[in-house]
């Protein structure tokens, strides 16, 4: 997912990537930094879901999974340091309407790495260890996902009070987190004892699917209304339009994964209906996702022509696109349609491109320390 604006300014000197305890090194290290973890982990998960075999791809996915695991540990440690050294800034982030929605990135990062561990990391650490890691991260991620899905909207209503035209795709971040739980939870269903445990997890994932879907349907009209009535987003924030793909691709992924495990967790009549529901829901939603991809691409090209430069919002080109890859792969499994195979491959190629560009530019920004400076507020372009 994307990250709130951190553009590099020629007038601002870079902050060295060193510092003693209490230095400003971690002061502006916000929850947005979990987004690169999500965007990296989904490369491994989506690669494992491809319906075609590509030589060397499995090894690449394993390497990327290991990188995402290291990144998760590093970001968790940095965020702990942020709260230990700069509690005032941590509280300010919660009360800042531009930053608070990014609290949804932490549970999604936990869930994304857990899913990648089971789909890819098991080649290195074994199935039992991979299941244990996934179960732990799924539990932590789900608890925090449900928390932020309530706390952040509460803060928006009570403290933030955004004005007309302030709707942003980043509002979806805390709302889509339970959908990620619904998408990665089904992998644990076969690991549970038959009977009540399996059925409870299956239906719990469906409940989180519904929770996230209905909340998304409330916010999406606000986002599109903001675009229609107030014009395009500021240049540096244009990549956040990709965040809309998150709930679309993740919900399609969730229903496909749930339909895969339903026969072993619930009665036959329901299992058959859930399989049909995955297709009847997923195909129209994937169609809308393709429409939104085309609209976003046009707006990104427009922004690039007007001088859009790199910022950390470019990570929006990774995780949401990855959810569309896994969603398309699920439709390919359930329909047997070759068109979905080709669509999955094309989306994965786009994901790899977006991830490579964002990763390289982020590494450069971290090396110089520019990305650890205080974010500058985005300004709307002149009419």
pLDDT in tens, 305-359: 999 988 889 999 999 999 999 999 999 999 999 999 999 999 999 999 999 999 9
Beta carbons within 8 Å of 123's beta carbon, 6+ residues apart: 58, 62
Question: Which pLDDT belongs to residue 360?
Answer: 95
Q: Is residue 18 part of a domain?
A: no
In the 8-state DSSP scheme, what is residue 242?
A: G
Look up residue 60 and give its two tokens: 């690449």
Q: What percent of the chain has a predicted confidence (pLDDT) above 90?
A: 76
Question: Residue 163 maps to which CATH number?
Answer: 1.50.10.150
Question: Which pLDDT belongs to residue 27?
Answer: 83
Is residue 189 predicted with pLDDT exceeding 60?
yes
Angle at 37 between CA 79 and CA 290, to 5 degrees: 135
Q: Alpha-carbon distance 313 to 375, whole Å? A: 12
Q: Is residue 377 part of a domain?
A: no
The DSSP line for 114-182 is: HHHIIIIIHHHH-HHHHHHHHHHHHHHHHHHHHHHHHHHHHHIIIII---TT---GGGGHHHHHHHHHH
Q: Is residue 13 part of a domain?
A: no
Q: Is residue 14 part of a domain?
A: no
Question: Which pLDDT belongs to residue 374?
Answer: 67
Is residue 154 predicted with pLDDT exceeding 90?
yes
Express each pLDDT in 230-269 by its tens digit. 999 999 899 999 999 999 999 999 999 999 999 999 988 8
Q: Alpha-carbon distance 211 to 195, whole Å? A: 24
Number of domains the chain contains: 1
Question: Which pLDDT belongs to residue 7?
Answer: 39
Question: Which pLDDT belongs to residue 108?
Answer: 97
Question: Which pLDDT belongs to residue 187?
Answer: 96
Range 278-295 average pLDDT = 97
Q: Is residue 84 part of a domain?
A: yes
Average pLDDT, the chain: 89
Burial of 183 (0-12, 13-18, 19+ CB in 10 A): buried
Range 46-56 average pLDDT = 92
Q: Alpha-carbon distance 96 to 307, whole Å? A: 27
Question: Which pLDDT belongs to residue 53?
Answer: 87
Most confident of 72-86, 89-103, 159-173, 286-300: 286-300
Query: How sure is the predictor about 121, in pLDDT bands with cuts at 50, 70 and 90?
Result: very high
Is residue 41 predicted with pLDDT exceeding 90?
yes
CB of 344 within 8 A of CB of 50? Answer: yes
Distance of CA 196 to the CA centre of its chain: 31
Query: How sure is the predictor about 376, in pLDDT bands with cuts at 50, 70 and 90?
Result: low
| Cα–Cα nearest to 143, from 178, 188, 105 | 178
Look up the domain containing 106 and give its range.
24-369
Q: Is residue 189 part of a domain?
A: yes
CB of 179 within 8 A of CB of 209? Answer: yes
- Conformational region of residue 19, where left means phi above 0, alpha means psi within -120 to 50, and beta covers everything else: left
Q: Alpha-carbon distance 161 to 172, whole Å? A: 16
Query: How sure is the predictor about 381, in pLDDT bands with cuts at 50, 70 and 90?
Result: very low
Question: Which pLDDT belongs to residue 314?
Answer: 94
Q: Is residue 380 part of a domain?
A: no
Q: Is residue 154 part of a domain?
A: yes
Q: Alpha-carbon distance 170 to 181, whole Å? A: 19
Question: Which pLDDT belongs to residue 369?
Answer: 75
């Amino acid at each position: 997912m994307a990250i709130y604006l951190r553009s590099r300014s020629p007038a601002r000197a870079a902050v060295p990537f060193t510092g003693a305890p209490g230095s400003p090194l971690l002061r502006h290290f916000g929850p947005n930094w979990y987004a690169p973890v999500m965007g990296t982990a989904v490369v491994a998960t989506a690669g494992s879901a491809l319906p075609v075999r590509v030589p060397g791809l499995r090894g690449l996915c394993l390497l990327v999974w290991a990188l995402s695991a290291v990144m998760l540990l590093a970001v968790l440690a940095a965020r702990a340091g942020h709260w230990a050294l700069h509690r005032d800034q941590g509280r300010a982030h919660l009360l800042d309407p531009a930053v608070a929605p990014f609290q949804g990135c932490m549970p999604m990062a936990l869930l994304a790495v857990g899913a990648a561990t089971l789909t890819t990391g098991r080649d290195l650490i074994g199935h039992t260890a991979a299941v244990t890691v996934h179960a732990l991260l799924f539990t932590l991620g789900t608890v925090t996902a449900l928390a932020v899905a309530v706390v952040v909207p509460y803060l928006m209503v009570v403290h933030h009070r955004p004005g007309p035209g302030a709707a942003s795709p980043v509002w979806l971040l805390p709302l889509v987190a339970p959908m990620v739980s619904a998408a990665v939870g089904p992998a644990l269903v076969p690991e549970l004892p038959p009977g009540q445990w399996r059925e409870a997890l299956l239906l719990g994932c469906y409940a989180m699917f519904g929770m996230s879907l209905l909340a998304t349907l409330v916010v999406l009209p606000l986002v599109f209304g903001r675009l229609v009535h107030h014009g395009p987003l500021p240049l540096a924030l244009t990549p956040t339009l990709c965040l809309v793909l998150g709930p679309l691709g993740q919900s399609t992924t969730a229903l496909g994964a749930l339909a895969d495990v339903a026969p072993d967790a619930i009665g036959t009549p329901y299992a058959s209906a859930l399989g049909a529901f995955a297709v009847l829901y997923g195909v129209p939603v994937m169609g809308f996702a393709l429409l939104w991809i085309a609209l976003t691409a046009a707006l990104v090209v427009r922004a690039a022509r007007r001088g859009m430069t790199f910022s950390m919002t470019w990570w929006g080109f990774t995780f949401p696109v990855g959810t569309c890859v896994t969603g398309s792969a699920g439709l390919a499994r359930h329909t047997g349609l070759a068109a979905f195979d080709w669509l999955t491959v094309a989306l994965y190629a786009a994901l790899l491109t977006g991830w490579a560009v964002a990763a390289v530019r982020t590494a450069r920004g971290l090396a110089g320390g520019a990305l650890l400076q205080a974010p500058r507020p985005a300004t709307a372009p002149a009419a």
